Chain A
Amino acid sequence: MRFARLPWLLLMLTFLCQPIFAQSPVLTSGVAGVTTLGSTVSILLPIMNSGATTAGSITVTSASLAGLSSTSPFPMALGDLTPGGSNGLSVNFGDSTLVAGHKYLLTVRGTYVSGAQTLGFSLNRFITFGQLSVFQQPPKPINVSSTIDPSHAVSGVISAVSGGTLTTKSADGSEFTLTIPPNALLGDQPMTMSPIRSVAGFPLSGGFVAGVELSPEGLVLLQPATLTITPSQPVPVAQQIAFGYVGSGQDFYLYPLNLVNTVTLSLLHFSGYGLGSGNAPSFNPSDALAQLQSAAAALVAAERARVMMGEPPDPEFGQKLLELEQQCFLQVIQPLLDQAEQNVTDDQGARDAIAKALGWDRLGQLLGAGNDKVFQQEEEFIRKAINAISVGEFNLAYDNCIASANPILVADMIGIARYFELTGGGAASNLGADYWDKINKCANQKLAVDFDSEIKGVYSGPILGAGVASTDSVVQASGLSLTWDSAGFNPTQAAFRIQSAPMDYVSLSYTLGSYLIVKSCASVTSYSATISVRARPSLNLFGKAFGKAPAPSMVTDINPTSDEELLACDCDPAGCFEAPFSVSHPYYSVGWTLIGGREPFVAPLNATTTFSGRTGSAAVGGGSSATFRESTTTVTVNSNPPN
């Protein structure tokens, strides 16, 4: 009997001997809500009691987010939590060091009362701060393939001082007006606006409407130009989406339209731009600034549609644009600059960082962030970072120039000196009083240029020249030895130069038209001409707005004296056209002045660069006209060891 009770006693004990923690409060956390308002991150964290007894007098004594202390006042009383009960804890953090899309560990500490004891608790939960921004998402670029319509292209030389306008129409009647304001260019600049005929792989649902390609590709404008597009067929405002791409279709992106009732784009550099309609598919450009423009374009498109349709504007529109700018700064620009500042030997990385930072700054100005205090602080950060990077890059370029006998590096040095002059900091005060000595020492090396060009001319009209229907001219200038001209220590004028050198017409052939004046021409006599060359360092610090900044280079201005008489023929005296022609009859001026004048060639050192396809046309008197097309031009720049 005595033992019979024992098992029942054990059974009772087993119920009594449950783990002590199963009878205690068990505090856990729920899914947190995260909101950002200005520079404050607010987190609402549910705290639950998953245990079997009440957690009394819960008091939160501290909260931290990845070591960042909460700005909320503590202690914070949450009261009692019965089993299964929950309460929300709201804590705030300053987000100055937080990056959207990153996970941070939230730790909440405090006490609770269980029975007669006051015990501690510590709850952890990883919080994803914000969503992955476009700058953090993996790129998903779109490449298209454009075809331009050269027959409707318009070219001109735009004055740096007064600016200018180019206007053209596409074959379907869409009109394009490009307006370059004063002081947008570093110097007078030849440029071409070519209507886009078609875009293969165009991603917008409503298709391609109209667009142009602006050359020279990548030309950076110091002041925004405006491109106004008047499509031949109207597009509803809500369907209008502007776009841009690099080159002939790389890295397609959306472009913000101006908040006006015309289709107007403010441009910061030359590339392809246009108007499409409909919706864009899910994509993310490769370049951070293209990502910024695409994201801004989506915001602007919605706001523009509201405004154009008479609806009230979004009161948070400006703030949303600013937040986008800030995200780009914190997630792209600042890390790039920090990295460039730390790694002084990576000059390409430095150039890229500077180009990106300046591009970001100009975009911010364009999007209206200029008066925002945070934006101004970020601009100041950029200015200081660029100064620090530039000083390091100047010294690195000098050391490498001397060590490797590479005078092309003077491009970097003089570009940096010029940057300091332009930004008001002063080159000497930032780079040292001997900065010009260093530049001259680097440049005191031989630089030679070879020039080889073939131009074809086609003549049409009532006169048809002097019976000549087309010409094919090959000119060469070899071994042009350039000398360094510091231009009175002027970084804007310093260059390697040669004033005049022989340029030989290696061959000059022609075909005869049907209206022959010339009876026969048995041979052609070539005439020597001259050529001048100026190889000036490229201001690479401003770089291209997209993609990688260009490597150090010489922008070579080559000026063949192509207006001289070129054609002579050893003709039949009975009816032969006299040759040479005079300058006033440039029928056979196989030349550069007729395809845009003095063209700059970007010519890397110790390499041969080929140019082709540039065209031009000119009236040649008497109702005749000539069109010219460059077959190929090769420019070779070689350096030699110092004297």
Chain B
Amino acid sequence: MNRRRLRSVFIPTLISLGVCSLIFLAPAVRADSISFQLSTTSQSTTSGGTVTFDGSVINNSGADLNASDFFFNFSAFVPGSVSPIQLLGVLSDFSIPNGATTPVVELFEVTLGPVPPNSIFSIAAQLENSAGDLSAIQTVNVSVPGSVSVPEPGVLLLLAMGLLALALARVFFALR
């Protein structure tokens, strides 16, 4: 294998990996000024049931805030079947100093309407604060009994990276 060909393969590959990591890992690397970490992103309930999503809120906004300075925006869900309700700051207000991560608290709940079995509902959740800072969007899933689990975006990302690594390995072996 000549060096020229090797360069023609590796340079685009490295660029590709760099861009990929920039895109996929950007939220983590950027260290969002506010973020939240869910204890779990998928839960099951029955038709008409309610599930509560808890987790932690991380405040790196540069200001000491209270729980009631944070608001959840929900979108991309099926209207009529899903009703997300914020709990953070409603049940009790508490201080979240700058740089602090809260203990695990109830963040929001999702109530399903009358829905058929074997169904799954996704909701995009984003945290906003009173200064207008926005967290990365996270998707939560609520399924009814019997529903088929769907891999999360994070899992898909890992799968894609694995396949990419396999492909690169194969390229190396083929070039040798």
The complex places the Cα of A18 from the Cα of B26 at a distance, in Å, of 11
CB-based contact B9/A126 at 8 Å: no
B105 lies within 8 A of chain A by Cβ: no
A6 CB contacts on chain B under 8 angstroms: 9, 13, 167, 171
A126 CB contacts on chain B under 8 angstroms: 68-69, 71, 89, 130
Q: A449-496: which have CB < 8 Å to B? A: none
Residues A26 and B12 in contact in the complex (CB < 8 Å), given A114-B76, A120-B80? no
B160 lies within 8 A of chain A by Cβ: yes
Residues A125 and B171 in contact in the complex (CB < 8 Å), given A26-B126, A28-B128? no
Majority-rule SS of B interface residues = mixed
Interface segment out of the listed A8-16, A223-231, A403-411, A580-588 = A8-16
Residue in A4, A10, A18, A50 whose Cβ sees the most chain B Cβ within 10 Å: A10
A90 lies within 8 A of chain B by Cβ: no
Chain A: how many interface residues by the 8 Å CB criterion? 40
A319 lies within 8 A of chain B by Cβ: no
B84 CB contacts on chain A under 8 angstroms: 122
B102 lies within 8 A of chain A by Cβ: no
Q: A1-56: which have CB < 8 Å to B? A: 3-4, 6-8, 10-11, 14-15, 17-19, 21, 24-31, 50
CB-based contact A103/B160 at 8 Å: no
B90 lies within 8 A of chain A by Cβ: yes
Interface segment out of the listed B15-23, B29-37, B39-47, B51-59 = B15-23
CB-based contact A21/B12 at 8 Å: no
The complex places the Cα of A15 from the Cα of B18 at a distance, in Å, of 11
CB-based contact A103/B68 at 8 Å: yes
B174 lies within 8 A of chain A by Cβ: yes
- A110 to chain B: closest residue by CB: B79
B124 lies within 8 A of chain A by Cβ: yes
CB-based contact A27/B75 at 8 Å: yes
CB-based contact A28/B16 at 8 Å: no
B93 lies within 8 A of chain A by Cβ: yes
CB-based contact B9/A29 at 8 Å: no
Q: Whole-angstrom distance from the CB of A84 to the nearest CB of chain B?
A: 13
B174 CB contacts on chain A under 8 angstroms: 3
CB-based contact B73/A121 at 8 Å: yes
A26 CB contacts on chain B under 8 angstroms: 73, 75, 124, 126, 134, 137
Q: Whole-angstrom distance from the CB of B112 to the nearest CB of chain A?
A: 12
- A12 to chain B: closest residue by CB: B16
Q: Whole-angstrom distance from the CB of B28 to the nearest CB of chain A?
A: 13
CB-based contact A50/B134 at 8 Å: yes
CB-based contact A14/B19 at 8 Å: yes
Residue in B74, B93, B130 whose Cβ sees the most chain A Cβ within 10 Å: B74
A118 lies within 8 A of chain B by Cβ: yes
B78 lies within 8 A of chain A by Cβ: yes
A119 lies within 8 A of chain B by Cβ: yes
Of A7, A107, A120, the contact of B13 (CB 8 Å cutoff): A7
Residues A120 and B82 in contact in the complex (CB < 8 Å), given A4-B5, A27-B73, A103-B68? yes
A105 lies within 8 A of chain B by Cβ: yes
CB-based contact A118/B71 at 8 Å: no
B167 CB contacts on chain A under 8 angstroms: 6, 10
CB-based contact B86/A28 at 8 Å: no
B137 CB contacts on chain A under 8 angstroms: 19, 21, 26
A21 CB contacts on chain B under 8 angstroms: 76, 124, 137, 139
Residues A120 and B79 in contact in the complex (CB < 8 Å), given A18-B23, A105-B86? yes
B175 lies within 8 A of chain A by Cβ: yes
Q: Whole-angstrom distance from the CB of B134 to the nearest CB of chain A?
A: 6
B128 CB contacts on chain A under 8 angstroms: 28-29, 125
Q: Whole-angstrom distance from the CB of A24 to the nearest CB of chain B?
A: 6
CB-based contact B9/A3 at 8 Å: yes
A422 CB contacts on chain B under 8 angstroms: none
Q: Whole-angstrom distance from the CB of A4 to the nearest CB of chain B?
A: 5
Q: A123-147: which have CB < 8 Å to B? A: 123-126
B62 lies within 8 A of chain A by Cβ: no
A111 lies within 8 A of chain B by Cβ: yes
- A22 to chain B: closest residue by CB: B137
B164 lies within 8 A of chain A by Cβ: yes
Residues A120 and B78 in contact in the complex (CB < 8 Å), given A10-B13, A14-B23, A21-B124? yes
CB-based contact B79/A118 at 8 Å: yes
Residues A3 and B175 in contact in the complex (CB < 8 Å), given A21-B139, A120-B78, A125-B71? yes
The complex places the Cα of A28 from the Cα of B153 at a distance, in Å, of 22
Residues A7 and B78 in contact in the complex (CB < 8 Å), given A15-B19, A26-B137? no
B139 CB contacts on chain A under 8 angstroms: 21
Q: CB-defined interface of B72-110 with A at 8 Å, one 1/0 digit per residue?
A: 111111111011111001100100000000000000000
Q: B125-173: which have CB < 8 Å to A? A: 126, 128, 130, 132, 134, 137, 139, 153, 160, 164, 167, 171
Residues A4 and B9 in contact in the complex (CB < 8 Å), given A28-B126, A111-B79? yes
Residue in B10, B20, B71, B160 whose Cβ sees the most chain A Cβ within 10 Å: B71
Q: Whole-angstrom distance from the CB of A423 to the nearest CB of chain B?
A: 42
CB-based contact B75/A25 at 8 Å: yes
CB-based contact A107/B86 at 8 Å: yes
A15 CB contacts on chain B under 8 angstroms: 19, 23
CB-based contact A10/B79 at 8 Å: no
Of B74, B132, B175, the contact of A122 (CB 8 Å cutoff): B74
The complex places the Cα of A617 from the Cα of B142 at a distance, in Å, of 90
CB-based contact A122/B71 at 8 Å: no
- A66 to chain B: closest residue by CB: B90
The complex places the Cα of A50 from the Cα of B134 at a distance, in Å, of 9
CB-based contact A4/B8 at 8 Å: yes
Residues A123 and B153 in contact in the complex (CB < 8 Å), given A21-B124, A30-B132? no
A28 CB contacts on chain B under 8 angstroms: 73, 126, 128, 134
The complex places the Cα of A10 from the Cα of B69 at a distance, in Å, of 42
Q: Whole-angstrom distance from the CB of A98 to the nearest CB of chain B?
A: 15
CB-based contact A10/B16 at 8 Å: yes
The complex places the Cα of A506 from the Cα of B76 at a distance, in Å, of 95
Of B20, B72, B153, B164, the contact of A124 (CB 8 Å cutoff): B72
CB-based contact B71/A124 at 8 Å: yes
Q: A605-630: which have CB < 8 Å to B? A: none
Some 8 contacts from A to B, beta carbons below 8 A apart, are A4-B5, A8-B12, A10-B13, A24-B75, A26-B126, A26-B137, A29-B73, A109-B83
Please provide the 7 A-B residue pairs with the shortest distance between their CB atoms, ordered closest to farther: A7-B12, A120-B79, A7-B13, A11-B16, A14-B20, A10-B16, A122-B74
Known: A121-B75, A122-B83. 10 other contacts (CB 8 A): A7-B10, A7-B13, A19-B153, A24-B75, A26-B73, A105-B86, A119-B77, A119-B78, A120-B82, A122-B74
